[in-house]
Amino acid sequence: MAGIIFFKTKNLDSIRDFYLLTIGMDLWLDQKDCVILKHGNMLLGFCERDEIDHGGMITLFYRTKEEVDSVYEKLKSIATTEPIENQKYSIYQFFAKDPEDRVLEFQCFLHQFPPYLTGTEALITRRSIRTFEDKPVPDELLWQVFEHCRYAPTSKNSQSYYFVVIRDRNKLELLASLRGSSSAPIARAPLAVAICSDSAKTLRPEQDGCIAAYHLMLAAWLHGLGTCWIAAMNREEVKDLLVIPKNHYVATVTPLGFPAKVPGVPLRREARETVIFID
């Protein structure tokens, strides 16, 4: 289920350009006298009419304070306040106004909050996280992640995957030491998760395990948690340490926690460079 908030405007062209070019929203649907704009999972519509709607407030929120500050620098000329921390609501915010005097709020939450990313955002913003905040991941949040993970597809619906959660600091340090700098991020996280598959349940343990692992990584990101694929962990010392049967497959052991820093977007090839059509 989704929704759209509509406002009446007397100058559709000007408003459309403001929200597209100045604010940075995307055009979701053009219906000639009505346009629908998109910011993450927010759909905002403007329809050309003989009057203007001013009621309420349009709030756009971001992941970090740094993103809010970046928006403020861009919109400083129309801002009505500077960015400040609002302790009552535990948010970081500033206000501005659009060309028809509607109140705009730009903010980020300073506390953990429920998932909000769209499928598109989750797919294009997920990053490998190698440094983590020094705070635990609540069990309730962890179970929310695993609730999403149980929908990972498997060969013949074998549901052969399972997850081993490691919080013991000695075990984390040992796992981090196995592959030098490649596995070192495990020791920087409050916990790690081994994603495994039972070869007695499936003829495709590698595929089932790897799909489940990436499902976990996307689910974790959706809930504000970072992960990092650590390769070549399907080894005897890992299985001995975590009491995993020798014939089971370990797809990866990923660190998991709240990101200390989210890397920028690396250079990507264009889609047309990665696709081959065969007639």
DSSP code per residue over 209-244: HHHHHHHHHHHHHHTT-EE----S--SHHHHHHHT-
Q: What is the pLDDT of residues 173-231, one digit of tens each?
A: 999 999 999 999 999 999 999 999 999 999 999 999 999 999 999 999 999 999 999 99
Bridge partners, residue 254, by sequence: 193
> Is domain 5-109 in CATH 2.40.50.140, yes or no?
no
Residues of the chain with CATH 3.10.180.10: 5-109
Q: What is the pLDDT of residues 241-263, one digit of tens each?
A: 999 999 999 999 999 999 998 88
Would you tell me which CATH number, out of the four given (3.10.105.10, 3.40.50.10490, 3.40.109.10, 3.40.190.10), belongs to the domain 122-257? 3.40.109.10
The radius of gyration of the chain from alpha carbons, rounded to an integer in Å, stands at 23
pLDDT band at residue 54 using 50, 70 and 90 as cut-offs: confident
Q: What are phi and psi of 236, to 5 degrees?
A: -60, -40
Model pTM?
Answer: 0.87
Entry field: residues in the chain: 279
Q: What does the longest C-alpha to C-alpha distance in the chain come to? A: 73
The residue behind tokens 């440094």 is: 131
pLDDT band at residue 147 using 50, 70 and 90 as cut-offs: very high
Residues of the chain with CATH 3.40.109.10: 122-257
User: Which amino acid, one-letter code, is at 263?
Assistant: P
| pLDDT for residue 1 is more than 80 | no
Bridge partners, residue 91, by sequence: 86, 109
| Dist. CA 99–CA 121, nearest whole Å | 28
pLDDT band at residue 141 using 50, 70 and 90 as cut-offs: very high
**What is residue 145's three-state secondary structure?**
helix
Sequence-distant (≥ 6) Cβ neighbours of residue 214 within 8 angstroms: none
User: Residue 12: CA atoms inside 13 Å, Cβ hemisphere, count?
Assistant: 17
